[in-house]
Chains A and B, each alone.
Chain A
Amino acid sequence: MNTPTPRFDAREASKWFFRHGHTGWLGLRFTDQGDNWVELELPWREDLLGDRSRPVLASGPIISLMDMASGMAIWQTRGTFQPVATLDLRVDYQRPARERASVRGRVECYRITRSAAFVRGVAYDDDLADPVAHVAGCFMTIGADPREANPALGGGDA
């Protein structure tokens, strides 16, 4: 297999991202994407409840959902997969998710520099306009490939 690296595609990447590890355990699924945003879904699951008294998802898995959607929104915007590290992630909870509802997380990357990326997004269960949470985050690229700075070597486009 010696094909050129295609542009990062969240839908394709999801096929192997969510097979293992933390996001695989959570059962994250790809739902939608745009030029600079990605939407993922966290299915409702009995063993992810955060409260003894109500069948609603804990907030922890929602952070994982938004963190993963953030990373993928950054790769989607950049067009390449380059590992990123979360520096700062803020989640403002607007209301509890509905009982037995899965939660979708839609995150856009609104600004990207050579070493940092800024994201914002919402988590919602039913209506995008009535979110469960708002998020804002700042990420940093790690292990930056120095070839990127060299236009003679950079690009990687097909």
Chain B
Amino acid sequence: MPEPLELPAYARSLGVTLTGESEGGMPVLTVDFGPMVEGRPQHFHGGATAGLLENAGYAALRTALIAAGRDPMLKPINITVQYLAAGKSQASFAVGRITRLGRRNANVTVEAWQSDRARPIATAVMNILMV
């Protein structure tokens, strides 16, 4: 029986949760707007957006690994975040996509959006080492 997906302490304390929805088989994560994620007034802090993206990236990779019956320790190699539009004072969503799942390395692409799925506010590419 596959273990349920669990978000790390950092995700939980930032208020990042699983929506229960999925896209391409990968979980969609969300975070509400509030003081914990606010940068300049009424906007998401870039770091909070990155935190949502990163958590969605890990959640996608964990989902793919659970499906493959693997449970390695994950170590971040790098992340590049592109900010496309200001994150406004409303909920943000993010979902990851596994671009390549290798034996030791995974390349994951993540998108974040707000009210319109077709207009991403930020994207990220992550390389994650699996040991």
A residues lining the B interface (CB < 8 Å): 20-26, 46-53, 57-61, 63-68, 83, 85-93, 96
Cross-chain pair count, CB within 8 angstroms: 116
Q: Which residues of chain A come closer than 8 Å to B77, judged between CB atoms?
A: 92-93
A89 touches B46 (CB 8 A): yes
Known: A21-B45, A89-B81. A48 touches B13 (CB 8 A): yes
Q: Report how many residues on chain B are interfacial, defined by Cβ distance under 8 Å.
A: 34
CA distance A123 to B48 in the complex (A): 18
B83 touches A61 (CB 8 A): no
Does B76 sit within 8 A of A, measured CB to CB? Answer: yes
A88 touches B80 (CB 8 A): yes
Does B14 sit within 8 A of A, measured CB to CB? Answer: yes
Known: A47-B9, A49-B9, A86-B46. A59 touches B81 (CB 8 A): no
A48 touches B10 (CB 8 A): yes
Does B22 sit within 8 A of A, measured CB to CB? Answer: no
A93 contact from B14, B36, B78, Cβ within 8 A: B78
A21 touches B38 (CB 8 A): yes
A48 touches B55 (CB 8 A): no
Known: A52-B6, A64-B45, A67-B46. A91 touches B51 (CB 8 A): no
B80 touches A89 (CB 8 A): yes
CA distance A25 to B38 in the complex (A): 10
Minimum CB–CB distance for A141 against chain B, Å: 13
Nearest chain A residue, comparing its CB with the CB of B6: A52
